[in-house]
Amino acid sequence: MKHLFFDLDRTLWDFDKNSESALTILYDELKLDDHLRSFQSFHTKYKKVNGELWHKYSKGEISKEVLRVKRFADTLHHFDVKNKELAEALADGYVSLSPYQTNLFPDTLETLEKLKNDNFELHIITNGFSEVQHIKLDKSGLKPYFDVVLCSEEVGKSKPSRLVFDHALELAKAKADESIMIGDSYEADIVGAENAGIRAILFDPDRVHREGRHTWHIHELKAIPETLPWM
């Protein structure tokens, strides 16, 4: 094995913590307490709406531009707030703030450092938007560890499309049988990678997958170096 491909959001960059941090700032700045019951109720509904719309986006059913505003418009609409300007302000503010949040999963940098010292070539394959993913990598200190960073929108498809993984292999000058994918999404990262002939490690920090869901199933990033020799 020579090449390790990582997902970014919810695998290295703690998307949920960083998203909540950005939304907390916006909730206060835009005085959403004037319109909504509480931040908690807003945040809970937003996460549900956002997850559903991202699923549609990954299947090509909606565009990035629609997703960007609709997730906030639909959340506000749930609370009987029909305010296009407010939804757009949330959309713009979120894209501006969220990539500058820097929470990583425990042991992220230490694990990447060890893998680099063990002479692995590290790469990123992400479904996130190009304009924000590179900021995340830079501001959180991740950028120096990675050789290739592929945002799936550059391919015109999202993981789990095989086209994304094949293009990543091409960019990294890697062969499928000498590569490993590490990610939190069973469908996008694990099934997608294996359909392209790449072995994969399922990262499951919150233990949402049943034990045995996948052969290589870890709960901490620091388990990666000790798992690789068995693969």
Contact, 3 vs 178, CB < 8 A?
Answer: yes
Rounded to the nearest 5 percent, the helix, strand and coil shares of the chain are: 55, 15, 30
Alpha helix (H) residue ranges in 10-120:
15-29, 39-58, 64-78, 84-97, 108-117
pTM: 0.93
Contact, 185 vs 179, CB < 8 A?
Answer: no
Q: Which CATH number among 3.30.70.100, 1.10.3720.10, 1.10.150.240, 1.10.357.10 corresponds to the domain 15-100? A: 1.10.150.240
The pLDDT tens digits along the chain (231 residues) read 899 999 999 999 999 999 999 999 999 999 999 999 899 999 999 999 999 999 999 888 999 999 999 999 999 999 999 999 999 999 999 999 999 999 999 999 999 999 999 999 999 999 998 889 999 999 999 999 999 999 999 999 999 999 999 999 999 999 999 999 999 999 999 999 999 999 999 999 999 999 878 999 999 999 999 999 999
The DSSP bridge partners found for residue 124 are 6, 149
Contact, 103 vs 18, CB < 8 A?
Answer: yes
Q: Where in the chain is the domain with CATH 1.10.150.240?
A: 15-100
**Which CATH superfamily includes the segment(s) 3-14+103-230?**
HAD superfamily/HAD-like (3.40.50.1000)
* 126 vs 34: CA distance, rounded Å: 36
